[in-house]
Amino acid sequence: MELVWPASDHLPSYIDALERGWSPNTLDPEAGRAEIQRIAEDPERFLAGLMDRDAKGPPIVLPDGTTAARIPGYRRWMWDGEFCGSISFRWQPGTCELPPHCLGHIGYSVVPWKRNRGYATRALALLLDDARHEDLEYVELTTEVTNLASQRVIEANGGILVERFRIPPQYGSREDFRFRIFL
């Protein structure tokens, strides 16, 4: 498994995953359908929007309908000959701090039919190499208290549990863990 930059030659496999019910956003299962629509409207624009290192895109629409300013970020795709998951990285230049609506620097999701192969662990390790170039002391990742698989992925990459906290209401107000990985 390798990380690839989203590109038109990978798009059919990505669309297949979305059509099979996978969502790139673990907090919003409907995000997959919205992405199918955006791809259908303008595939090149969709792909370009996955790489926004300068935060030039439109504001982020939160699950409760409010908006927040975009911060720099991008998505990479997990690829083993076909699409197998997505990992994203976002940051604020010059600081490790994130705005309150942003739960962590890194988020990832593996399609269900490719889980338990070590892909998330490898993808996180590869993305941490990228993150080291942004002059950050550490990155933070959050996961549900009950998501033991994700906790193992983070810990395998040097993650240290920092706190148990309640996520903001627009994300469901559930209890999560926050991990920190020093770069």
Specify the 3-state DSSP secondary structure of 183: coil
**pLDDT score recorded for residue 28:** 77
**pLDDT score recorded for residue 156:** 98
Specify the 3-state DSSP secondary structure of 109: strand
**pLDDT score recorded for residue 70:** 94
The C-alpha R_g of the chain, in whole angstroms, comes to: 16
DSSP structure class, residue 158: T
Say how far apart CA 101 and CA 8 lie, in whole Å: 30
For every one of its 183 residues, what pLDDT tens digit does the chain have, with 9 covering 90 and above?
A: 999 999 999 999 999 999 999 998 877 778 889 999 999 999 999 999 999 999 999 998 887 888 999 999 999 999 999 999 999 999 999 899 999 889 999 999 999 999 999 999 999 999 999 999 998 999 999 999 999 999 999 999 999 999 999 998 878 889 999 999 999
Q: Which two tokens stand for residue 14?
A: 């990505």
**pLDDT score recorded for residue 175:** 95
**pLDDT score recorded for residue 30:** 81
DSSP structure class, residue 137: S
**pLDDT score recorded for residue 10:** 97
Residue-range definition of the domain harbouring residue 176: 2-182
The string of DSSP codes covering 46-95 is HHHHTEETT--SPPEEPTTS-EE---SEEEEEEESSSEEEEEEEE-BTTB
Say how far apart CA 53 and CA 78 lie, in whole Å: 19
**pLDDT score recorded for residue 137:** 96
The one-letter amino acid at 167: I
164 pairs with which residues across the strands?
177
CATH code for position 170: 3.40.630.30
pLDDT digits (tens, 9 = 90+) for 17-50: 999 999 988 777 788 899 999 999 999 999 999 9
Q: What is the mean pLDDT of the chain?
A: 94
Count the domains in the chain.
1
**pLDDT score recorded for residue 109:** 95
51 pairs with which residues across the strands?
74
